[in-house]
């Protein structure tokens, strides 16, 4: 990690939220709940918080094809809003590829 990026990794701790306005995940109730449940983790602002994102698509461009692809992307939520969604801070961790019918049925169970 570059020194320029490292200085932004504690932004979420120094950020002061405006009541009723959510500009970053650290302003949300889930972040605050996580801090109260895991105080040993949240006391150190340099601990890295990751978001897990996914969105499925059909690699063959046809909705009739029975296959789908689900990239699983990690995002770094320690960074300020203008940085945490930039491509250089989003990491493709894995791809889930499967027969669409069998794949979706595994979630329904």
For the whole model, what pTM was predicted?
0.67
**β-sheet bridge partners, residue 95:** 71
Q: State the Cα–Cα distance between residues 33 and 47, nearest whole angstrom.
A: 16
Return the number of other C-beta atoms located less than 10 Å from residue 15's C-beta. Answer: 13
pLDDT classification of 39: cutoffs 50, 70, 90 = very high
Quickly state the pLDDT bin for 41 (edges 50, 70, 90).
Answer: very high
DSSP code per residue over 63-100: TTSSEEEEEEEEEETTS-HHHHTSGGGEEEEEEEEEEH
pLDDT-derived band at 12 (thresholds 50, 70, 90) equals confident
What lies within 8 Å, CB to CB, of 94 at 6+ separation is 71, 72
């Amino acid at each position: 990690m570059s020194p320029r990026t490292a200085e932004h990794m504690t932004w979420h701790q120094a950020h002061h939220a405006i009541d009723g306005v959510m500009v970053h995940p650290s302003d949300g109730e889930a972040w605050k709940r996580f801090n109260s449940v895991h105080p040993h983790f949240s006391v150190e602002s340099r601990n890295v918080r990751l978001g897990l994102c996914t969105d499925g698509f059909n690699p063959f461009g046809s909705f009739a094809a029975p296959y789908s692809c689900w990239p699983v992307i990690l995002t770094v939520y320690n960074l300020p809003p203008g940085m945490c969604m930039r491509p250089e801070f989003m990491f493709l961790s894995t791809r889930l590829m499967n027969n669409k019918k069998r794949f979706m049925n595994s979630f329904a169970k």
